[in-house]
Amino acid sequence: MKAALISLVVLLIGSLATSGYLLLEHKNSTTIIQGSQNEIESLKKKTLAASESKIKAEKINLDLKDNLDNANKEVATVTSDLTAIRAALKESDETVIAAQSQAAKLKSQLADAEAGIKSLEKKTIKIQQERDSLRSITEEQKNALAQREKNVKILTDKLKRYSTIDLTPEETRTLKQKKPAGIEFSGVINEKLIRPGKISKPIKNSKKLILNNDNEK
């Protein structure tokens, strides 16, 4: 019985020792499990944070890509606009050059036209002067012709008057060769025509008197 009691005591002590060991192991296991769980939670949080960071990074990357695409589009638009502006400036420069050339051409044509107008004015003045001169000459010629006709009429009248007197052909030729008194070649008459009076002497004596008067003149 004593042996049984000792065995029971030994078993009880072994059981207590086993229970204590198991309790310690359980406590250690719980601590380890709790630590593992905590570590897992921490890893989950880190993983979640990393995932969120990755998502944010991907979003930022997408935003940057969109911004880059937009920037490239804007650069392309600006480049196209710049090309168009350069083309417009070139066309404008060409237009300005063409306009300047046209303006210079028009100025040259205007100068030529003004020179032509001045030349025509000079020609017109010259023609007018020539017309006035011709008109003056014509008037002078008309006056001279009228005076000559008047002189011819006077001479004709004188010749008719002389022809009424009985003159010989030789005396008539001599009379025709003589210059009538008071008659200039310019057509101006310096003497007045005196109508003959009644014949009071014989014709022969009158004939000699006329010839003597002509010789004295």
DSSP of the chain, one letter per residue? -HHHHHHHHHHHHHHHHHHHHHHHHHHHHHHHHHHHHHHHHHHHHHHHHHHHHHHHHHHHHHHHHHHHHHHHHHHHHHHHHHHHHHHHHHHHHHHHHHHHHHHHHHHHHHHHHHHHHHHHHHHHHHHHHHHHHHHHHHHHHHHHHHHHHHHHHHHHHHHHHHHTS---HHHHHHHHHSPPTTB-TTS-B-SPPPPP----S-HHHHHHHHHHHHHH-
In a domain, 145, yes or no: no
Region 77-86 average pLDDT:
90
pLDDT attached to residue 52: 84
21 or 53, which is more confident = 53
Distance CA 97, CA 103 (A): 10
- Residue 48 clears pLDDT 60, i.e. is over it: yes
- Any domain includes 211: yes
pLDDT at 118 over 80: yes
Tracing tokens 């000559």 back to the chain, one arrives at 148
- Which tens digit of pLDDT belongs to each residue from 4-39? 667 666 666 766 667 666 666 666 667 777 777 888
Query: Given a cut of 50, is residue 161 above it in pLDDT?
Result: yes
End-to-end Cα, the chain, rounded Å: 228
Note the pLDDT of residue 76.
Answer: 92
Name residue 189's beta-bridge partners.
Answer: 183
Q: Among residues of the chain, what percentage have pLDDT more than 70?
A: 61
- Return the minimum-mean-pLDDT range out of 50-54, 99-103, 148-152, 172-176: 172-176
pLDDT of residue 217: 45
16 inside domain: no
How far is Cα 163 from Cα 169, in angstroms, rounded to an integer?
11
Question: To the nearest whole number, what is the mean pLDDT of the chain?
Answer: 74
171 inside domain: yes
User: By C-alpha distance, which of 134, 150, 162 is closest to 186?
Assistant: 150
Kindly state the percentage of the chain with pLDDT values over 90.
5
pTM for this entry? 0.33
Provide the residue range defining the domain that includes 161.
Answer: 150-216
Please give the Cα distance from 99 to 102 (Å, whole number): 5
Residue 145: pLDDT band by 50, 70, 90 thresholds?
confident
Distance separating alpha carbons of residues 151 and 143, to the nearest angstrom:
12
187 within domain boundaries: yes
The structural domain count of the chain equals: 1
Distance of CA 159 to the CA centre of its chain: 82
d(CA 207, CA 170): 13
